[in-house]
Chains A and B, each alone.
Chain A
Amino acid sequence: MHTALPHHGAVAAWASARTALGCTRGRLNLGAAVDRIGAGAAQDRIALQVGPADGGDAISYGQLAERTDRIARVLRRIGVRKGDRVFVLLERGPEFHLAMLGALKAGAVVAPLFAAFGPEPLASRIRVAEGGVLITSAWLHERKVAPLRSALPELGAVLLVSGGDAAAAASGGADTLDLEGLMAEADHGPAAVAMGEDEPAWLHFTSGTTGTPKAVVHSHAAGIGIHASAREALDLRAGDRFWCTADPGWVTGTMYGVMAPLLHGATSVIEAGDFDPRRWLDTLGRAAINVWYTTPTALRMLMRAQAQDAPPLQLPALRVVASVGEPLNAEAVEWGRRVLGHAVRDTWWQTETGAIMIACTPRHASPPGAMGQPLAGLRAHVVKRLGSGALEVLDDRAEVEGELAFEAGWPGMFRAYLGDPAHYAACFCEGLYLSGDLVRRDAKRDFWFLGRADDMIKSSGHLIGAFEVERALMAHPAVAEAAAIGLPDPTVGERVKAVVALRPEVQASPALATELRAYARARLGAVMAPKEIGFAAHLPHTRSGKIMRRLVRGRELGLPAGDLSMLEEQPDDEPQ
């Protein structure tokens, strides 16, 4: 359907990725590809290193192959077949990597869930993905899953990883199983199911501006984009010690946290605890990290924790520091150069693209604060959507602002929104994938991030859909309507604020604002719930009845109202 790009074989980086992954005649199982790459290296090379080398646990490529084979067999034994979903709800730790690779080997479609989500986002994502088996920890099961199970018939068996034990499993009921125990009973030997490169491997959830969250489908071919981009944008090489700080519940945690290092025969260093500036900076040195992939929020928090006059860190092994998730400010780039010894390279991609698309690479010197340029094989354009549904491609100008678009058909491109072909089709126009991100391309062809074309909120590297936040608030009896918006924040990029219109009989008060914040946090979890609640007598609507979040945000920031011709009435109310 979208074949604007040259044949993939014509792009050297993609052809060599296919060779490395052992993808021939359209066959590829990424779980098996990791074994193949591990077998090519010494079997005792470390695949997963928990914490710094002098004290943490280590899992070799040989052990990784054996354990993930066992997980695949356990999944088959409990009835998981090709294409069935396996949800993974785990915090940072090697169990996440093992569960994902085992499920891929079994031919399952792996759906990572973010452990910080509240009950509503968890349940809605499991429903959107049409249910399946869940791998989680005893702790998360007790806290997040057990209370949902009676109302969530879509959820099948729950497998508890180590830390859970037979007793915890038994107390969870007949469908709660001890994964470790079942692995010990399972036969060993290769267990990977033969897969086609176009068969689905993952579902990653994005929270839209309207409607329920969408499940983005990626196939095993996404591994080709991950492999090629990790080499070009991150300079990742066999034997490197690689640390990706992304949470496992987000797409970066899967594609670069789990897959990129293992598809390159590198060692993935896992820092299991929560953010701690001293420990993180210590890990960079003690674990002799070569390539570090992190987020602007983490970098800004480290900058805040470091004294202004602190001497540069001695990190002789470090070669690349890269960042993803939200725009990287020039100060953070420079802080990297001064303190870590390397200017931080920005990278841009999104769940739908499957892998890094634009990055600052040594190939050309992008200015600090820029996203960089498209990776090899990709063709990016700046476009404007015309009212008629057509596009204007703004390529003929030296400097231009508009929506970022790519010629469709790169290997890691998403294959569907599960069960929503109309929404998928709407992402493409005239052979281009439309990203929804607004950018500027300068005269030297570097891209700069400007904002979202829609009302998605970028907070701490996570894309939060306004509608999911609003729906939770509107379930509260005092709330008539709500608009969720992102306000600029120096550390997390944007923080979520909700402006609510109350039912006529209800009075606004600070106590009610606190109650609404508590209500939203209990349902959505801390990362998605608004940090602030404001009240307004009415919210502005378009003539078709949609809330104009942009206008609500403009008012909050004191910006000019802009074009009001779409409004049903002139807004005369101000948020209190």
Chain B
Amino acid sequence: MNRNEIRAAVLKLLARIAPEANVASLAGDVPIRRQIDLDSMDSLNVLAGLTEVFAIKVDEADYGRLQTIDDMVDYVAERRAAAKGA
């Protein structure tokens, strides 16, 4: 899975949680919560969704690191690479 595919899957996940958002128009480097309306439960569901969609372990303590779409793409790519290397 390359970064573009990861990004597309992250956007699909966000669209599932916040169906009112136009995810195609989201900026990658601006905090997601500045662009779409997510409450704390939505944010937890985003993390749970990353675990499910990408089959990676998302540590909930990393919540604060995952502010933007770019953060998520980096995080997923990193975790997948680490899992392969292991």
Interface residues of A (CB under 8 A from B): 116, 118, 274-279, 297, 301, 304-306, 459-460, 489, 491-492, 495, 514-515, 517-519, 521-522, 525-527, 531
27 A-B pairs with CB atoms under 8 Å apart are A275-B43, A277-B60, A277-B64, A278-B64, A279-B64, A297-B40, A301-B40, A301-B44, A304-B60, A305-B59, A305-B60, A306-B61, A459-B41, A460-B40, A460-B41, A489-B41, A492-B40, A514-B16, A518-B19, A518-B20, A519-B20, A521-B18, A521-B20, A522-B20, A525-B37, A526-B37, A531-B41
Are the C-beta atoms of B42 and A526 separated by less than 8 Å?
yes
Check B19–A514 contact: CB distance below 8 A. yes
Residue B33 is within 8 A (CB to CB) of chain A in the complex: yes
> Chain B's nearest CB lies how many Å from the CB of A490?
10
CA distance A521 to B41 in the complex (A): 14
Q: Is the beta-carbon distance between A305 and B63 smaller than 8 angstroms?
A: yes
Among A491, A514, A518, which residue has its beta carbon within 8 angstroms of that of B41? A491
Query: Is the CB–CB distance between A527 and B39 below 8 Å?
Result: yes
Would you list which residues of chain B between 24 and 55 have a CB under 8 Å from chain A?
33, 37-44
For the complex with contacts A274-B33, A278-B61, A527-B39, 4 further pairs of A-B residues with Cβ separation under 8 Å are: A274-B43, A492-B40, A525-B37, A531-B41
Q: Interface of chain B, helix or strand or loop or mixed?
A: helix
In the assembled complex, which residues on chain B have CB atoms less than 8 Å from the CB atom of A276? 63-64
* A116-B39, A491-B41, A525-B37 as given contacts; A277 in contact with B19, CB under 8 Å: no
What's the Cα separation between A77 and B82 when bound, in Å?
62
Which residues in B have their C-beta under 8 angstroms from that of A301?
Answer: 40, 44, 60, 63
Q: Are A521 and B19 in contact (CB under 8 A)?
A: yes
Nearest-neighbour CB distance to chain B for A311, whole angstroms, equals 14
Cβ–Cβ contact B37 & A116, under 8 A: yes
Number of interface residues of B (CB under 8 A): 19
A551 to B63, CA, bound (A): 37
Q: Which residues of B contact A (CB under 8 A)?
A: 16, 18-20, 33, 37-44, 59-64
Least distance between B19 CB and chain A CB atoms (Å) = 4
Flag if A275 contacts B63 (CB, 8 Å).
yes
* B39 lies within 8 A of A460 (CB): yes
Distance, CA A515 to CA B16, complexed state (A): 11
Cβ of B68 to closest chain A Cβ, rounded Å: 13
A277 interface neighbour in B16, B39, B41, B61, Cβ under 8 Å: B61
**B16 contacts which chain A residues (CB < 8 A)?**
514
Shortest distance between the CB of A51 and any CB in chain B (Å): 14
B63 lies within 8 A of A118 (CB): no
Chain A residues contacting B38 (CB-CB under 8 Å) are 526
Nearest-CB distance from B27 to chain A (Å)?
Answer: 15
Residues of chain A lying within 8 A (CB to CB) of residue B40? 275, 297, 301, 460, 492
Considering the complex of A and B, which 3 residue pairs feature the smallest CB-CB distances, nearest first? A276-B64, A518-B19, A518-B20
Measured CB to CB, the nearest residue on chain A to B36 is: A526
Once bound together, how far apart are the Cα atoms of A531 and B60, in whole Å?
21
With CB as the reference atom, state the residue of chain B lying closest to A524: B37
* A519 to B21 alpha-carbon distance, docked (Å): 10
CB nearest neighbor in A for B38: A526
Give CA–CA (A118, B20) in the complex, Å: 12
Contact B64 A517 (CB under 8 A): no
Given contacts A301-B40, A526-B39, is CB(A517)–CB(B19) below 8 Å?
yes
Please measure, in the bound complex, the distance between the C-alpha atom of A240 and the C-alpha atom of B37, giving whole angstroms: 35
- A433 to nearest B CB, angstroms? 31
Q: How far is the CA of A517 from the CA of B19 in the complex (A)?
A: 7
Partner of A118, one of B37, B41, B43, B59: B37
Q: Tell me the complex Cα distance, A519–B19, Å.
A: 9
- The answer to whether A495 touches B61, judged by C-beta atoms less than 8 angstroms apart, is no
Q: What is the bound-complex CA distance between A305 and B59, given in angstroms?
A: 7
CB distance from A459 to the nearest CB of B (A): 8
Q: How far is the CB of A485 from chain B (nearest CB, A)?
A: 16
A271 to nearest B CB, angstroms? 12
Residues of B within 8 A of A275 (CB): 40, 43, 63
Give chain B nearest CB distance to A530 CB in angstroms: 11
Nearest CB on B from A479, distance (A)? 16
Closest-CB distance, B44 to chain A (whole angstroms): 6
Complex alpha-carbon distance, A527 and B33, angstroms: 13
Alpha-carbon separation in the docked complex, A279 to B66 (Å): 13
